[in-house]
């Protein structure tokens, strides 16, 4: 799109890039807002049918417009700001939550090379942005100057920091396997993972446990049931949102669901093949990648809703135990396991320096030549092929 | 043009928020300004092409360290009058430190300018063909391997030290044995009885 602006309007590259990126952002953010409204409706419908209720069915056909009606209602209400609150931070907190929920979408690949920013630290960017999410909640809790939101903020801080550790290690095992932090490369590496037929890391028995850990951690990271201790209504009224009303409350709502959709997409992208079709068959590639991504995302969203409707809430000590005593050691052990397997299968063992063949070489500032560690052992690989034949 | 705008935006915000960090009255506000400073510093890192460092800055400092800072500071109950009384008392020592730090920065810059390192390297310290995660990894795990592992060891010792110092055995705490809880079945815990009227049951 940058070239469109440079050629069509003869703009300077910098400004053309700026305008093109702005359009890209709108192209992602606006449909995202719409899908948040629809996903809230879907969530309520799924939850209702699991509880043998009808769910929203009054506004519009099948109640499809329920979320928009709610949005309008919330928009027309008065914003109440508690007099003892810290006003600037009180209003800033929902804005932070909402913005942070949107910025991660910048690196999500919707199709091959179709991301707003196809950066080579994509996964780190995801980690960085998702670690910011906690600020919206902490600030809400503190600035409300009220007991229940404050408890909720303390819970949220501990919960999100704990589960990010597990998520970090899960991501490291993926990065080790792929050899790249770029999300598009990660998706491409999943092509034909299982028997050259199935796309996705989940089929790899070594990575499947990490897919499960990531799914559960993503429930905890988005504060969905059964880990919704920050807004446990039986203990904390509505948690950090207690003092919020009107649009500032709606921003939390939107941000929460944008985060849920994002986590579903990340689950699909990191372990279940992302925009690739489930099977590596040429005819399936006729369907655009974005359709496959959406289908996988919806499957994961159904799982999120299913869990919400059926699993009772964890106690706080159980939550911490799961994060620190089970997921952390497990994922840490898995990093060792994956790197060990990769050492054996890809890198190989040490060989004599004269046998090594390097792909690249560098000159350092002291004038000496140094080599990267990707030296391939020529004699060793020759031996291996002999053994195989 | 757009790079210049971005640079002055980030640089100006870093300086402004750093200044507000030390002048803010409310400690929570100070931490929040500090976070803003970290964030904009990360923006500057991205501008010079060190995206890995930028992301680490956000993940480690903004995402973890500052959260814990905020966590602690939020629960502090600070007496501002007492703080202000202390200001005059420690002003002289503070000034000495400030002068010392300023001198160090100047010396560092002087050495940086006078050194043998070529100017081109300062702008692009990594090879062009290589993303800087790979370049950094290549250096850390070959040339600086022992220093790097030494740093890891120091952190491990610090972590274990912190646990040893703060851990205390609590007598009389009723710890839960999760595997025993999970192994418990209804038939171990309940008993079906048919008490007759006016008899009750024996426990």
Indicate yes or no: CB of A161 within 8 angstroms of CB of B68.
yes
Cα nearest neighbour of A145 on chain B = B74
pTM of the entire predicted model: 0.79
- Residue of B45, B47, B58, B63 best to disrupt the A interface, most CBs of A under 10 A: B63
Instruction: Verify that B51 and B9 share a domain, yes or no.
Output: yes
Instruction: Verify that B22 and B70 share a domain, yes or no.
Output: yes
Q: Which domain holds residue B158?
A: 127-168
CB A130 within 8 A of CB A217: no
CB B69 within 8 A of CB B31: yes
pLDDT-derived band at A329 (thresholds 50, 70, 90) equals very high
The pLDDT value recorded for residue A386 is: 41
* 3-class secondary-structure state, position B134: helix
What are the structure tokens assigned to A107, written together?
């690196």
| pLDDT(A381) > 50 | no
For residue B194, is it within any domain?
no
Cα nearest neighbour of A153 on chain B = B71
Cα nearest neighbour of A367 on chain B = B117
Chain B residues in contact with A89 by the CB 8 A cut-off are 32
pLDDT tens column, B72-90: 887 776 666 666 667 777 8
What are the structure tokens assigned to B194, written together?
């048919």
For residue B184, is it within any domain?
no
For residue B199, is it within any domain?
no
Nearest-CA distance from B78 to chain A in Å?
15
- Residue of B9, B59, B136 best to disrupt the A interface, most CBs of A under 10 A: B59
pLDDT tens column, B100-115: 999 998 888 887 777 6
If you average pLDDT over every residue of chain B, what do you get? 82
| pLDDT(B122) > 60 | no
Cα nearest neighbour of A362 on chain B = B127
For residue B139, is it within any domain?
yes
Q: What mean pLDDT comes out for the span A152-166?
A: 85
Chain B residues in contact with A356 by the CB 8 A cut-off are none
| pLDDT(B125) > 60 | no
Instruction: Verify that B38 and B61 share a domain, yes or no.
Output: yes
pLDDT-derived band at A388 (thresholds 50, 70, 90) equals very low
The pLDDT value recorded for residue B156 is: 94
Selected residue with higher pLDDT from A335 and B203? A335
For residue B203, is it within any domain?
no
Q: What mean pLDDT comes out for the span A9-36?
A: 82
The pLDDT value recorded for residue B151 is: 93
Instruction: Verify that B12 and B63 share a domain, yes or no.
Output: yes
Nearest-CA distance from A14 to chain B in Å?
6
Q: DSSP character for B76?
A: -
Where do we find the tokens 């192994």?
A: B183
CB B42 within 8 A of CB B57: yes
Nearest-CB residue to A365 (from B35, B117, B176): B117
CB A107 within 8 A of CB A117: yes
Distance of alpha carbon A128 from alpha carbon A122, whole angstroms: 10
Where do we find the tokens 């002003």?
A: B91
ipTM over 0.95: no
Distance of alpha carbon A305 from alpha carbon A382, whole angstroms: 53
What are the structure tokens assigned to A119, written together?
């950066």
The pLDDT value recorded for residue A302 is: 92
| pLDDT(A380) > 60 | no
Query: Can you give chain A as a three-state secondary structure string?
Result: CHHHHHHHHCCCHHHHHHHHHHHHHHHHHHHHHHHHHHHHHHHHHHHHHHCCCCCCCCCCHHHCCHHHHHHHHHHHCCCCCCCCCCHHHHHHHHHHHHHHHHHHHHHCCCCCCCCCCCCCCHHHHHHHHHHHHHHHHHHHHHHCCCHHHHHHHHHHHHHHHHHHHHHHHHHHHHHHHHCCCCHHHHHHHCCCCECCCECCHHHCCCCHHHHHHHHHHHHHHCCCCCCCHHHCHHHHCCHHHCCCCHHHHHHHHHHHHHHHHHHHHHHHHHHCCCCCCCECCHHHHHCCHHHHHHHHHHHHHHHHHHHHHHCCCCCHHHHHHHHHHHHHHHHHHHHHHHHHHHHHHHHCCCCCHHHEECCCCEECCCCCEECCCCCEEHHHHHHHHHHHC
Category of A295 on φ-ψ map: left (φ > 0), alpha (ψ -120 to 50) or beta:
alpha
Instruction: Verify that B72 and B7 share a domain, yes or no.
Output: yes
Chain A residues in contact with B2 by the CB 8 A cut-off are 14-15, 17-18
* 3-class secondary-structure state, position B195: coil
What number of CA atoms fall less than 13 Å from residue A258's CA on the CB side? 25
Task: Mean pLDDT check: name the lowest of A200-204, A379-383, B61-65.
Answer: A379-383
Interface list for chain A against chain B, based on CB atoms closer than 8 Å = 12, 14-15, 17-18, 89, 119-121, 124-125, 127-129, 131-132, 134-135, 138-139, 142, 150, 153-154, 157, 161, 164, 181, 317, 321, 360, 362, 364-365, 370, 372-373
If you average pLDDT over every residue of chain A, what do you get? 81
The pLDDT value recorded for residue A384 is: 43
What are the structure tokens assigned to A8, written together?
């069509």
Residues facing A279 on adjacent strands? A198
Q: DSSP character for B169?
A: P
For residue B42, is it within any domain?
yes
Tell how far CA A343 is from the center of its chain. 28
Instruction: Verify that B98 and B53 share a domain, yes or no.
Output: no
Going from N- to C-terminal start, the domains of chain A cover: 77-345, 352-389
Q: What is the CATH number of the domain that holds B71?
A: 1.20.120.1200
Specify which of A245-254, A284-293, B92-101 reaches the highest per-range mean pLDDT.
B92-101
Expressed in angstroms, the distance from the first to the final Cα of chain B is 85
- Residue of B29, B65, B71 best to disrupt the A interface, most CBs of A under 10 A: B71
pLDDT tens column, A170-203: 988 888 888 888 888 888 888 877 777 777 787 7
Instruction: Report which secondary-structure segment, H or E, holds B70.
Output: helix B66-74
Nearest-CB residue to B138 (from A131, A161, A373): A373
Where do we find the tokens 């920065």?
A: B105
Q: What mean pLDDT comes out for the span A11-19?
A: 76
Q: What mean pLDDT comes out for the span A52-58?
A: 86
* 3-class secondary-structure state, position B1: coil
Instruction: Verify that B11 and B26 share a domain, yes or no.
Output: yes
Q: What mean pLDDT comes out for the span A117-145?
A: 84
pLDDT-derived band at A206 (thresholds 50, 70, 90) equals confident
Indicate yes or no: CB of A125 within 8 angstroms of CB of B35.
no
């Amino acid at each position: 799109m940058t070239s469109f602006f440079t050629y069509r309007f003869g703009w300077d590259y910098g400004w053309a890039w700026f305008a093109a990126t702005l359009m890209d952002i709108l192209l992602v953010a606006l449909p995202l807002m719409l899908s948040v409204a629809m996903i809230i409706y879907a969530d309520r419908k799924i939850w209702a049918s699991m509880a043998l209720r009808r769910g929203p069915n009054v506004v519009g056909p099948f109640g499809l417009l329920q979320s928009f009606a709610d949005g309008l209602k919330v928009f027309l209400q008065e914003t109440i700001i508690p007099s003892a609150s810290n006003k600037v931070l009180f209003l800033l907190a929902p804005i932070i939550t909402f913005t942070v929920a949107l910025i991660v979408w910048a690196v999500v690949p919707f199709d091959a090379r179709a991301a707003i920013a196809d950066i080579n630290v994509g996964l780190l960017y995801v980690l960085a942005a998702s670690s910011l999410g906690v600020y919206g909640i902490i600030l809400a809790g503190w600035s409300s100057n009220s007991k229940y939101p404050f408890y909720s903020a303390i819970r949220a801080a501990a919960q999100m920091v704990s589960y990010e550790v597990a998520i970090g290690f899960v991501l490291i095992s993926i990065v080790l396997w792929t050899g790249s932090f770029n999300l598009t490369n990660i998706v491409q590496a999943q092509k034909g993972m299982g028997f050259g037929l199935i796309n996705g890391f989940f089929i790899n028995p070594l990575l499947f446990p990490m897919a499960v850990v990531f799914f559960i951690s993503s429930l905890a990271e988005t504060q969905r049931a059964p880990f919704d201790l920050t807004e446990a209504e039986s203990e904390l009224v509505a948690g950090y949102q207690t003092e919020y009303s009107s649009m500032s409350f709606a921003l939390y709502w939107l941000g929460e669901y944008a985060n849920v959709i994002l986590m579903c997409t990340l689950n699909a992208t990191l372990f279940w093949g992302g925009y690739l079709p489930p099977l590596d068959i040429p005819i399936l590639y006729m369907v655009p990648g974005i359709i496959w991504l959406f289908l996988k995302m919806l499957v994961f969203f159904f799982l999120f809703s299913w869990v919400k409707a059926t699993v009772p809430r964890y106690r706080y000590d159980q939550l911490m135990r799961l994060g620190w005593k089970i997921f952390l050691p497990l994922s840490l052990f898995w990093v060792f396991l994956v790197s060990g397997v990769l050492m054996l299968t890809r890198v190989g063992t040490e060989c004599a320096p004269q046998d090594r063949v390097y792909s690249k070489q560098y000159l350092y500032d002291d004038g000496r030549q140094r080599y990267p560690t990707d030296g391939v052992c020529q004699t060793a690989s020759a031996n291996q092929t002999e053994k195989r034949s | 043009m757009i790079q210049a705008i971005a640079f002055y935006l980030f640089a100006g915000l870093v300086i402004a928020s750093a200044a507000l960090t030390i002048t803010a009255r409310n400690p929570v506000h100070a931490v929040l300004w500090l976070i803003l400073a970290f964030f904009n510093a990360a923006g500057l890192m991205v501008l010079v092409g060190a995206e890995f460092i930028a992301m680490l800055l956000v993940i480690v400092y903004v995402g973890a360290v500052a959260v814990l800072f905020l966590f602690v500071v939020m629960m502090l109950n600070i007496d501002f009058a007492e703080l202000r009384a202390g200001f005059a008392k420690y002003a002289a020592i503070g000034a000495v430190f400030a002068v010392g730090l300023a001198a160090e920065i100047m010396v560092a810059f002087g050495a940086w300018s006078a050194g043998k390192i070529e100017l081109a390297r300062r702008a692009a310290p990594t090879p062009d063909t290589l993303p800087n995660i790979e370049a950094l990894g290549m250096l850390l795990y070959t040339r600086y391997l022992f220093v790097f592992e030494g740093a890891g060891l120091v952190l491990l010792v610090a972590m274990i030290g912190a646990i040893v110092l703060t851990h205390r055995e609590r007598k009389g705490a009723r710890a839960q044995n999760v595997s025993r809880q999970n192994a418990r079945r209804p038939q171990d815990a309940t008993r079906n009885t048919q008490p007759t009227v006016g008899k009750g049951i024996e426990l």
